[in-house]
Amino acid sequence: MASLLHQIRHQSVTIDRPLPLDSGQALPSVTIAYQSYGTLNADRSNAVLVCHALTGDQYVASDHPATGKPGWWARMVGPGKPVDTDRYFVLCANVLGSCMGTSGPATPDAATGAPLGMAFPVITIADMVRAQAMLLDHLGIARLHAVIGGSMGGMQTLGWAAAYPERLASAVVIASAARHSAQNIAFHEVGRQAIMADPDWQDGQYYGSDRAPTKGLSVARMAAHITYLSEAGLTEKFGRRLQARDAKSFGFDADFQVESYLRHQGLAFTDRFDANAYLYITRAMDYFDLAEPYDGRLAGAFAKARDVRFTLVSFDTDWLYPTSESRRVVQALQSVGAAASFVELSAPFGHDSFLLDVPALDRLVAGALRNGG
């Protein structure tokens, strides 16, 4: 599976400058795969950077090359949509460490030509943001109309405001947090252990072999997927309903619809994602704590972001990045005098609400972009 994934050709640019990393290491050069929608205007002032989540990619509003499915935010990005490609030049780059064309653990070692695997350096959210800034430099975009993202995309958006406050007018942070909690780390660690427990993982050097840790990756995805949904949403969608045969098997097949759904989510994920990339990106998220360099004072991260217009959105059923984490960001922003609007939306879908049909979110995003320029 993973080997098929790596045969897909993506639009990308290779920047032959070192990318310094938070670990102290550096990538000698970096390849960034990206998609763009709409047209950059003459004064290059209408660019909107969309940052994707853990398992997202640059195919925001175009069909996924592996699955053929519509872009993950096609409902939000397009002509006449909240992120209006008739008005904005919308850019989305596959994050550093991922598996859709940007430098990551499947990237060949410059010397040997063999995939780096676990020799790829551990990266952070700030490193992802630094790579995106290099892409913008390459494209000649000095300043962004807006940066927008949900979940890990929101972490990058916050990272943009902290690292390059002069380069963005507006930041839209959806269903996100300024740090990973102990529970967030715990769930990710379960996923990593599931992958590394799979003998087909082979210490990360499975790319050349005919085996990949699909079982471990599938279990990791199943565990994570539960955290993306609300308890009430799961109950409404599945409850205790049985599969079509409508009777308990008294065996270990998927009797309940929720079991079958989860198994499918796990398995389908392995067609479009690489296990090592999952290790690296979850690690980057767990390391994320925007307040850490400021002795735990989150306001420190926003000291120079006074002129950025912030919009924060949380969902009442999101227990992965609950409203309290968004409030914490808003308080830090207010303490430095930054303009921050915040709304908790009611939606039944849990964390995944940012990807789903929540009309109030569409209106908020459209408004944030109109006001942000």
Q: Write out the catalytic residue numbers.
A: 151, 318, 351
Under the rule (CB under 8 A), what is the footprint of a second copy? Answer: 22-25, 118, 121-122, 179-183, 185-187, 189-190, 192-194, 196-199, 215-216, 218-219, 222-223, 226, 229, 231, 234-235, 237-240, 248, 250-252, 254-256, 258-259, 262-263, 266, 279, 283, 286-287, 289, 319
How far does Cα 229 stand from its chain's mean position?
16
Q: With the CA atoms of 298, 300, 306 and 310 taken in that order, what torsion angle do they form, in degrees rounded to the nearest 10?
A: -20
Report the nearest approach of a second copy to the CB of residue 167 (Å): 26
The burial of 329, by beta-carbon neighbours within 10 Å (0-12 exposed, 13-18 middle, 19 or more buried), is given as buried
Residues 6+ apart with CB under 8 A from 114: 108, 208
Buried b (16+ CB within 10 A) or exposed e, 140-150: ebeebbbbbbb
Report the nearest approach of a second copy to the CB of residue 179 (Å): 7
Residues in the chain: 373
Report the nearest approach of a second copy to the CB of residue 237 (Å): 7
How far does Cα 249 stand from its chain's mean position?
38
**Known binder of ligand: residue 9?**
no
Report the nearest approach of a second copy to the CB of residue 166 (Å): 28
Q: With the CA atoms of 98, 264, 197 and 282 taken in that order, what torsion angle do they form, in degrees rounded to the nearest 10?
A: 30
Q: List the one residue out of 94, 88, 89, 87 whose CA is nearest residue 59.
A: 94
Q: Which is nearer to a second copy, 70 or 239 (CB)?
A: 239
Strand ranges for 109-182 from DSSP E: 146-150, 170-174
**Known binder of ligand: residue 274?**
no
Q: Which is nearer to a second copy, 264 or 363 (CB)?
A: 264
Determine the 3-state secondary structure of 8 from DSSP. coil
Q: Which is nearer to a second copy, 160 or 187 (CB)?
A: 187
Residue 272 CA to residue 64 CA, distance in Å, equals 9
Report the nearest approach of a second copy to the CB of residue 23 (Å): 4
Residue 151 CA to residue 305 CA, distance in Å, equals 21
Q: Which is nearer to a second copy, 40 or 254 (CB)?
A: 254
* Max Cα distance, the chain (Å): 67
The binding site comprises: 221, 352
Q: Binding site for substrate: residue ranges?
A: 221, 352
